[in-house]
Structure 1
């Protein structure tokens, strides 16, 4: 089996992914869109969502054009960056935005059709919602893999490279990492802005509507209800799509860069190392499509049966990918194929374990969330304490899973020889690709959640009856679990991807030093090592990257601090926007008593505007922090400081993200557990306390937590992109 033959699995996956995404989208549009009233409510949500996206993209356009001009100046004016950086950066942002836009267009149209299908059957509603979610899942992976392929093919044909620059494929693959910066920055804006939008609306709707006025969730009398439904789309669809798009691209780019570097002295094996992750990704798309068709259910299915149906589709895809990747890696003839296959297995198993651990920590079917619900009988204080404790404890299994998965991937790929650092790190990158190989169907199960949630809102506002609401509630409750699992999966994949990006940083440093005319590393011992063949251990010794170096330790503290400051900024932003929303909802109820009587319709537009303006205003500062900290660290503390910063940010950011997401998920589902009739049911003391816990948890799980996984990757990619500045102008 030749490298060329295996390579074609990647473009085949891109074509098939886009084809089935188009087919699922067309099939969704053909479904019944419900009554005129249902379509009117759905139209409010769609217009609000697209207005927000249009406003966000206008702001992003100016940010990207400004940075593009800066990178053009650095590239062509000062010569400290690759001349391909501006184009790659803009392309990364554009395609990340496109992935989010497609997901948003699909979700806003699918929710009303899911509600209409729920009038007839649970299985029909699940089919519409899940296959609509699959549109975004397949678009994300197909666009991601397609962009990586396009760059590699373009650069191979047109990009000049010499052996002195580290070899053609090394230069091509490391330069391609610049694409990830545009994707990561766009994802951060989408995640932070979307998270602020949705949580401002959610908090306003819950605190005033549920707690103060005692009206149901999604009640059309609540002025914030449309903004809340819009927020489900801008946060959990557009935000999640952009987030995982950049994770997917980052893992592929890091794997190809590390593979090219690990076998830089063997061109034949080097090509195979670059092709391997692309082929695994292509297989993942093809077999994710198979999994989508497996997800079906029957009328009257329980929550457990619904979850089993989704899990069956994901698990079948995962098993098929494992079997097919074993055949491809062995047939490719790459060095240690079974070891690399072990790395793929490590990544997939790690992703499954992290997802299941998140499900256990946040699902109302398990004891952690039920204990939080039980504490709600004691009031808000005990609810908050229980949720914080549950979130902290929930970090154990995901952290251990990622630690063990990373070690196993490293050892399997290196043949259990820790001296083979380059090959072992390539295995870690392959593990990240393996974890994300099921993204086509995993993201479908995540995007399905907000579609089902919006469908339930449409049913409630249109008063379609308790049997229809029961079907959408079943889908919505399942969506809460899949959304929490998806967040855990995204955080776990971010940890592996960020580690691979840190390793790639050293290869970019090597190329930058070669570009500047340096040919050797002069070690403290007086020994000179040829730069083009120096190992990663040689670079660590040359830059004194050890825990005894105070520069490294100081930078690690700064990286840890950045994760907390970033989280604080995003949560404070939610608080300010939510306060404005609460004031507006109270004002409408106070000035127009006819709203609560149902005599007139609230002013939904004003609440949508508050969330939109709040999100746009508040998302800039956290994004600037993520960009400026690695640049400043590189200029002051040099290469050793950057590695310390990225290591500290990754370790702290990963654990903090798991804690925030799981604590928020536990509070959310504890509230739903109480609403099902436990511990006094709706409008009881426990329910009011649980609503407060859910309100506190909203920015935990939907703003700060999910944004942190982008932060750790964005800091790594900014450091990579600014390597020329760091090497040329650092003070230390």
Structure 2
């Protein structure tokens, strides 16, 4: 099968993204890093971050080797697995880890330069931090599309099949490299989240509450570990997270496109449906770069003005991508191209609405966070109650938005054919519409991830300014950038969770396609439906497979799967929260010990042992990340072996529904608690050091693992369980107990 010439826009766009990322990196490196003290502090943070990442990659490499050998056994010995899976799995993990590494390396070089730029103006500080964050955004989308392009070319040359079936095999095979990306992302997110929050909680509880010293004070032994944690959790972890979301949405949609048009026998139309999500993502890269150059602000800008400055870049990119989508799908001449274009617009609009809702519930310029800050006047308990309440209420808008987006994307793709809404062809087209809506939501990732990665850079810049004893005006500017970063980080998490919901729904449909391939692997060429009718496996529709496996709400296997899936979200959060608690206990004891035993720390006459705190966080994160991460891999396999395809579908539905709502709640509660503390530190309700401030510090401490460990890890859990189920589909159909 010849590769259409328009396909080459996809690898070309990935090269452009990586080229601009390198240019932004080089420009950032040419900026001054400031005084000797600023360079020294940045060096400590950089060394700690790289040491942690090296240790994490050693652990993850062992896990990947074991899993790759297991997949090789299933493929080459048991014969129930696609022979390309071991290699696809490894490349997915490698590129995901590489995206996190490049982003974190940039962030650790950018923090001191941002602090130095903030000495000159707020706008210069914003631009250095934001352009450095853009390196992460562009590296993620660039490497993602590069990986997808390479696999498409390789499989197109080597897959031994013809006609419509060849594209089905190519796309379902490509989908399996998403498991490697998801596995790496979960380790990065969980490990980085445990690291950063152990340090943050230790630094806050002993330093700010007990010793009464400011945040990022050089007298606090945990402050370097805290700054390191911002990079390993919120940069490397977030980069790996959104890499797998981005790739997963494109690959799932391509697989659905191949399946939707396979039955028609129109290979040319099928090829265009496969290429459409890749081309939308490619054009999205180019238009995101335009948006990056539009971000700037003025001196003395308020929080709303700073948010508007970032919003200009994101919104302009979104409008341009919306317009470009109509042109792309029109030129591809896909069936119902106009309706599919509106499906993409639906995804884009849903992303913007979720982002705006998150901003409302987490920014201290709005009432919900102000109310949490005011509740600190009556103590920590009311701060925690108020924050939990705000988080729970904040789930309504994202859930309703995703629900509306799913229905609209489906209807647009099917041309609002209400008379045949659930026919086999319309179901395939509708699911393709939902998948392409997820691609639309993530098509602006180049700039939306830049707004997210900007946050920890601004946070570290504030820490560097505090430890370097720069003037109050600089600290005021870095505090403004940091508070903005808290909101953009919360918005980014909401965006990631929303895209995970749409992507996971597309992956549910892709799972059925992989079941079809699994049946063919074990030699089963036909299925018998409950009414006695027979269907050839290659010609059977999704509706046929749902009937064959009796996937309905009256099937106890499905119901048991739903309960296990819902439980997994809470079990996972409980394990990661407790992991943070145990690691934080060790950090608190160490900080107290240093204050007690190293005389002169609090007077500034002695230097704390920063390295020991970094080592405690590193050791704690490596030890604690294994159980929750491996659980996400083992449970879908176990459910498949016990309850078969019906149980796995229930598991994925239960995990998606509970995980999505719980993730939004945790991310927004944590973000609101953090910004309530920031609002008081700006001089409201008694200011720093007041009882109200101490109460909100406690709330922020509770919120730390909510927003930076458990919450953001849930969207990876949802997709990893889906990816594991897809990769293990061959084993599930070959052998299961019930």
Partner residue of 2:228? 230
- The correspondence of residues 415-564 of structure 1 with structure 2, limited to 5 A, is 415-417=415-417, 418-419=421-422, 420-564=426-570
Shift of 1:5: 4.6
Name the SS of the counterpart of 1:597 in structure 2. Answer: coil
- The correspondence of residues 236-635 of structure 1 with structure 2, limited to 5 A, is 236-264=234-262, 265-417=265-417, 418-419=421-422, 420-635=426-641
Shift of 1:3: 8.8
Name the SS of the counterpart of 1:235 in structure 2. Answer: helix
Kept in 1, the 8 Å contact 2:80–2:522? The answer is: no
Partner residue of 1:131? 131
TM-score of the pair, normalised by structure 2: 0.98
Partner residue of 1:78? 78
Shift of 1:525: 1.2
Kept in 1, the 8 Å contact 2:81–2:521? The answer is: no
Asked if 1:660 corresponds to 2:674, the answer is: no
Name the SS of the counterpart of 1:679 in structure 2. Answer: coil
Name the SS of the counterpart of 1:521 in structure 2. Answer: strand
Q: Residues 378-408 of structure 1, C-alpha deviation per residue, up to 9 Å, x if partnerless? A: 1111111111111110000000001101111
Name the SS of the counterpart of 1:201 in structure 2. Answer: helix
Q: Residues 270-293 of structure 1, C-alpha deviation per residue, up to 9 Å, x if partnerless? A: 001011101100000000110111
Name the SS of the counterpart of 2:689 in structure 1. Answer: coil
Name the SS of the counterpart of 1:217 in structure 2. Answer: coil
Shift of 1:438: 0.2
CA distance in 1, matches of 2:79, 2:520: 14
Q: Residues 466-505 of structure 1, C-alpha deviation per residue, up to 9 Å, x if partnerless? A: 0111111111111111001000000001001111111100
- The correspondence of residues 149-168 of structure 1 with structure 2, limited to 5 A, is 149-162=149-162, 167-168=165-166
Shift of 1:9: 2.7
Partner residue of 2:32? 32
Kept in 1, the 8 Å contact 2:195–2:621? The answer is: yes
Partner residue of 1:47? 47
Stretch deviating more after TM superposition (206-215 or 525-534): 525-534
Stretch deviating more after TM superposition (506-515 or 556-565): 506-515
CA distance in 2, matches of 1:438, 1:131: 15
Name the SS of the counterpart of 2:527 in structure 1. Answer: strand
Name the SS of the counterpart of 1:286 in structure 2. Answer: helix
Q: Residues 96-146 of structure 1, C-alpha deviation per residue, up to 9 Å, x if partnerless? A: 000000001100001111111111111111111110100110000010011
CA distance in 2, matches of 1:400, 1:570: 28
Shift of 1:682: 1.4
CA distance in 2, matches of 1:144, 1:532: 30
Q: Residues 201-224 of structure 1, C-alpha deviation per residue, up to 9 Å, x if partnerless? A: 000000000000110000000000
Q: Residues 285-327 of structure 1, C-alpha deviation per residue, up to 9 Å, x if partnerless? A: 0001101111111222222211111100010000000111111
Kept in 1, the 8 Å contact 2:517–2:730? The answer is: no
Name the SS of the counterpart of 2:22 in structure 1. Answer: helix
CA distance in 2, matches of 1:158, 1:6: 21
Q: Residues 187-244 of structure 1, C-alpha deviation per residue, up to 9 Å, x if partnerless? A: 0000000000000000000000000011000000000000000000000000000000
CA distance in 1, matches of 2:369, 2:203: 23
- The correspondence of residues 8-157 of structure 1 with structure 2, limited to 5 A, is 8-157=8-157
Gaps of 5+ in 2: none
Partner residue of 1:729? 735
CA distance in 2, matches of 1:114, 1:504: 44
Name the SS of the counterpart of 2:160 in structure 1. Answer: coil
CA distance in 1, matches of 2:560, 2:42: 52
CA distance in 2, matches of 1:537, 1:198: 46
CA distance in 2, matches of 1:572, 1:514: 44
CA distance in 1, matches of 2:664, 2:197: 19
CA distance in 2, matches of 1:44, 1:390: 37
Kept in 2, the 8 Å contact 1:17–1:142? The answer is: yes
CA distance in 1, matches of 2:10, 2:639: 38
Shift of 1:516: 2.1
Gaps of 5+ in 1: none
CA distance in 2, matches of 1:704, 1:625: 14
Shift of 1:596: 0.1
Kept in 2, the 8 Å contact 1:3–1:332? The answer is: no
Shift of 1:374: 1.3
Stretch deviating more after TM superposition (625-634 or 5-14): 5-14
Kept in 1, the 8 Å contact 2:303–2:365? The answer is: no
TM-score of the pair, normalised by structure 1: 0.99
Name the SS of the counterpart of 1:598 in structure 2. Answer: coil
CA distance in 1, matches of 2:294, 2:705: 34
Kept in 1, the 8 Å contact 2:79–2:522? The answer is: no
Name the SS of the counterpart of 2:535 in structure 1. Answer: strand
CA distance in 1, matches of 2:332, 2:7: 10
CA distance in 2, matches of 1:91, 1:61: 12
Shift of 1:683: 1.4
Kept in 1, the 8 Å contact 2:458–2:478? The answer is: yes
